[in-house]
Structure 1
Amino acid sequence: DIEDVGHKYYLELELEDVLDKGRTVNCTAEVLYHLGSKSTAPDVQLTVQGELRGTEEADQEFYNRIRSLEKELVAENIPDSHGNVPLELEPIHLLAWAASGYVIWQNSTENTEFHLAQVKHVKQVKRSDEDLQFDYVLLLHEMVSQEVIPWEVTVLWHPQHPARVSWDRRQLGHTLG
């Protein structure tokens, strides 16, 4: 506890590379949840010891494939009811996973535990610039309440930049807590 500020946690984690399942790196994190304000994201300081595999080549292939589509990509229910993610949609699922991490961070409290359950819907939106844009409806499972919350998220991405959540909101009619 930090008096009049909040609660600070020190974590030691082992991260698994989602693209190279046997590869892990150690990391430490300090997480500070501020007192009284549920609208303030926790402060997170992260240190990673080691490196995860680079994805530059796969990122560029995915980017080129999506840019060359004649019709915008549209998909639903990733993973499906059996937990399967079609290989060609794996990058879409990974972008959703990264975006959900941002949404979870921005909306976490000490009393919540969110997980990405499913991409309910995703639609590519054509843009005039070089970014790819995907409009998602993500289903976030809040483990404490067992509520599944639809969350609308717009993700911008280019292989030379990290994924960016440009807009997000809980779907109307769904509130937290």
Structure 2
Amino acid sequence: MYYLSDSYGHIDPGMKPFWHLGGVASSFVMLKESSENTLYNMAQVVNVTQLETENNQLRFNYDVLLHEMVSQEMIHWKLLATWSPEEGVKASQMELLPKCHHCEPPQNH
């Protein structure tokens, strides 16, 4: 697992493509799950883990925070995203994680 930004939001230049891929994968959630009651906007790509594949695709698990504009809450989502030159980006799994008001925010390592 790699945390994409430090506590100040700085991203290592070599990790920016993974941040951009996480942002594109987040757009699948924003498009599918936004409504007049939520209206999601990407706030932070928290971390990424690359997974093994047996084909020409790259596969990643992402943890992202989406800003729910109506309630002003930060909502945690887990995404499984794939990328290949032929097919581009796809978010194959999207999971809304339960709200935890007493939990600590993810720590950057």
- TM-score scaled by structure 1? 0.52
Matches within 5 A, 1:88-103: 88-103=14-29
Q: Counterpart amino acid of 1:152?
A: K
Q: TM-score, normalised by structure 2?
A: 0.82
Matched with 2:36 is 110
Identical pairs, percent: 34
Structure 1 counterpart of 2:95: 169
Deviation at 1:160, TM superposition (A): 2.5
Identify the match of residue 147 of structure 1 among 73, 77, 95: 73
- Residue 62 of structure 2 corresponds to residue 136 of structure 1: yes
Runs of 4+ in 1 over 3 A off after TM superposition: none
Report the secondary structure of 1:116's partner residue.
strand
For the pair 1:75 / 2:75, whether they are aligned, the reply is no
Q: Residue 80 of structure 1: CA displacement?
A: 2.7
Structure 1 residue 113, shift from structure 2 partner = 2.6
Two-structure CA RMSD over aligned residues (Å): 1.4
Q: Give the letter aligned to residue 114 of structure 1.
A: Y
Tell me, what secondary structure is at the counterpart of 1:150?
A: strand
Deviations, residues 68-112 of structure 1 (Å, cap 9, x unaligned): xxxxxx311x33332212111111001111011110110011233
* Residue in structure 1 matching 2:50, options 115, 118, 124: 124
Greater Cα shift, 106-115 or 94-103: 106-115
CA distance in 2: counterparts of 1:121 and 1:79, whole angstroms:
8
- In structure 1, stretches of 5+ residues that fail to align are 1-73
**What does 1:7-18 correspond to in 2, within 5 Å?**
none
Structure 2 CA distance for aligned equivalents of residues 106 and 144 of structure 1: 16
Q: C-alpha separation between the residues in 1 aligned to 2:11 and 2:42? A: 14
Shift of 1:129: 0.9
